[in-house]
């Protein structure tokens, strides 16, 4: 029975296909990936993190005309959702970047070298960036990574001490499918973009993954442990659900 089930799953995976093309939404070209799923009974549409693309799941063999009509019916929903994202998330001098939930105006110092640093200038939060203009995005990204590393290591250490557990390692990545993860041997991984969120949100993320060192699940005991480590858990989860995808809209390439 199990072998027949595995064979059917493998056959379904082989027959599933993907289509890739661009679609226009309010004059904006977005990459669209259409994936066939033999078990799918209805069309689903999802906006990728950062508003950088669309993904559809459709029944196998659905005609292209049906897909196009579905997209046309969803134009209003897409317009409303995509309005949250800038047409271009590219960083530039005079633009803004969030650090620990506070918008910072980007200002080049004109220095050939020099550290990127966050300062207050007459009450305004400013991110000073040295180096050549073409390196601005990279320098801002590297600065955020360093800040994220310091904040996450401190938060993980604090929560581990409260839990009486120890993390094997801490890694920073630029993942889009999840904000953090914990392996069975205690290796923690985080998206460094979380440093752009308010501190309570970063603290919740650290508490969430540290809680997995004791409860490798998302059951009631896990969530109770999260709330114990991070009393502002509900507010932080709500912020991440409402605003988290906007952090992915910033283009550091």
In a domain, 104, yes or no: yes
- Based on the fold, state whether residues 184 and 207 are members of the same structural domain: yes
- Based on the fold, state whether residues 234 and 175 are members of the same structural domain: yes
- Based on the fold, state whether residues 103 and 220 are members of the same structural domain: yes
In a domain, 8, yes or no: yes
In a domain, 118, yes or no: yes
pLDDT tens digits, 56-100: 999 988 888 898 899 888 888 887 777 676 655 668 888 889 999
- Based on the fold, state whether residues 233 and 141 are members of the same structural domain: yes
- Bin 94: left if φ > 0, else alpha if -120 < ψ < 50, else beta: left
d(CA 204, CA 159): 10
pLDDT at 16 over 60: no
In a domain, 90, yes or no: no
pLDDT at position 88, please? 54
Last residue of a domain, one of 82, 108, 140: 82
pLDDT at position 2, please? 39
DSSP state, residue 88: -
pLDDT tens digits, 136-159: 999 999 999 999 999 999 999 999
- Based on the fold, state whether residues 40 and 100 are members of the same structural domain: no
Last residue of a domain, one of 29, 48, 82: 82
Average confidence score pLDDT of the chain: 88
What's the domain range around 19? 2-82
- Based on the fold, state whether residues 77 and 195 are members of the same structural domain: no
CB 192 within 8 A of CB 145: yes
Structure tokens at 166: 């120890």
Cα 29-196-215 angle, rounded to 5 deg: 105
pLDDT bucket at 1, cuts 50 / 70 / 90? very low
- Based on the fold, state whether residues 71 and 116 are members of the same structural domain: no
pLDDT tens digits, 180-232: 999 999 999 999 999 999 999 999 999 999 999 999 999 999 999 999 999 99
pLDDT bucket at 122, cuts 50 / 70 / 90? very high
- Based on the fold, state whether residues 126 and 227 are members of the same structural domain: yes
Of 35-39, 61-65, 72-76, 122-126, give the range with the top mean pLDDT: 122-126
DSSP state, residue 48: P
- Based on the fold, state whether residues 111 and 215 are members of the same structural domain: yes
- Based on the fold, state whether residues 34 and 136 are members of the same structural domain: no
How many structural domains comprise the chain?
A: 2
pTM of the predicted model, to two decimals?
0.73
- Based on the fold, state whether residues 112 and 228 are members of the same structural domain: yes
CATH number of the domain where residue 106 is located? 3.30.2010.10
């Amino acid at each position: 029975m199990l072998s027949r089930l595995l064979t059917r799953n493998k056959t379904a995976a082989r027959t599933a296909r993907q289509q890739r093309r661009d679609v226009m939404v309010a004059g904006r070209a977005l990459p669209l990936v259409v994936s066939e799923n033999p078990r799918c009974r209805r069309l689903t549409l999802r906006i990728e993190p950062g508003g950088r693309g669309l993904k559809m799941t459709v029944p196998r063999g659905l005609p292209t005309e049906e897909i196009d009509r579905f997209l046309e019916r969803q134009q209003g929903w897409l317009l409303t959702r995509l309005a949250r994202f800038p047409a271009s998330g590219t960083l530039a001098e005079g633009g803004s970047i969030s650090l620990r939930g506070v918008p910072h105006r980007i200002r080049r110092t004109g220095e050939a070298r020099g550290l990127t640093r966050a300062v207050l200038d007459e009450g305004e939060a400013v991110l000073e960036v040295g180096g050549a203009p073409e390196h601005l995005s990279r320098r801002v990204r590297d600065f955020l990574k360093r800040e994220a590393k310091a904040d996450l290591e401190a938060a993980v250490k604090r929560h581990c001490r409260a839990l009486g557990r120890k993390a094997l390692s801490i890694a920073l990545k630029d993942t889009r499918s999840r904000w953090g993860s914990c392996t069975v041997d205690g290796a923690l991984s985080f998206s460094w973009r979380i440093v752009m969120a308010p501190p309570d949100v970063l603290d919740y993320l650290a508490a969430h993954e540290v809680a997995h060192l004791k409860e490798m699940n998302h059951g009631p005991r896990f969530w109770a442990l999260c709330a114990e480590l991070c009393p502002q858990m509900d507010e932080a989860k709500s912020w991440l659900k409402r605003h988290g995808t906007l952090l992915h809209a910033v283009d550091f390439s």
